[in-house]
Amino acid sequence: MPITKKIKSKRISKKEVKKEISVQKIPDNKAYELIEKYKIPTVKYAFVKNEKQVQENVKKLGFPLVMKVSGNIIHKTEIGGIIKNINSEQDALTAFKKLMKIKGCESVLMQKQIEGIELIIGAKQTKEFGNVVSVGIGGIFVEVLKDISFRVCPITKEDAQKMLTELKGYQILTGARGKSVDINKIIEVILSVCKLIESEKFSEMDINPLICNENGCYAVDVRIIK
């Protein structure tokens, strides 16, 4: 059997896929456009650059809102670049002014705030294996479980299903905490991410988090590195 086929038939360990640090990411609005091109669902959102746009989109998006710094910034949380539970126009304007003061901020991303089970879905070009896709349990579980599964692209629906069942936290998705999610919706996103990195030119990407609830699965934050 060719080596490439052997690799594709095996689970890849975390040690074999080491992330390289880079700050050259494509603009956030372009990242959202790209995943939407590949039919990956997103929450309702808007990129705003002034207070008038904030006021206009408060009415369109509705409450509660989450607002995020947007620019060539990799780690938004560490710099106070994410503000949640915004429930009034005045709070939205206050959050906008605060975020725009952050170094590197070019605009602010406004999103409808949703709840659900959080996953991380990523893809990366590697020298050894080529394009690799990953899925892991996110949110409060990410640091505790360090729970992630890898495959070499392209993958099948069956491969994506196995990636999920390999997760230690798989039962979280099937109702261990009282709420189950549509596994097929997650599989569709994994397949789309794999297709995306196979078709487009970039080094890595992640959807963190992908929030899954009774209504579906939605990309809430997207990062694509050139």
Task: Report which secondary-structure segment, H or E, holds 99.
Answer: helix 89-100
Residues 70-87: what's their mean pLDDT?
A: 91
* Residue 214 pLDDT grade (very low, low, confident, very high; cuts 50, 70, 90): confident
DSSP-based three-state secondary structure for 201: coil
Compare 14 and 87 and report the one with higher pLDDT.
87
Distance, in Å, from the CA atom of 20 to the CA atom of 144, rounded to the nearest integer, reads 22
Rg (CA), the chain: 18
- Kindly state the tokens that stand for 115: 């709840």
Average pLDDT, the chain: 88
Residue 19: the pLDDT is 42
Task: Report which secondary-structure segment, H or E, holds 132.
Answer: strand 130-137
Domain architecture of the chain: domains with CATH: 3-25+115-225 (3.30.470.20), 44-112 (3.30.1490.20)
Least confident segment among 9-13, 56-60, 145-149, 200-204: 9-13
* Residue 9 pLDDT grade (very low, low, confident, very high; cuts 50, 70, 90): very low
pLDDT tens-digit map of 15-38 = 554 443 345 889 999 999 999 999
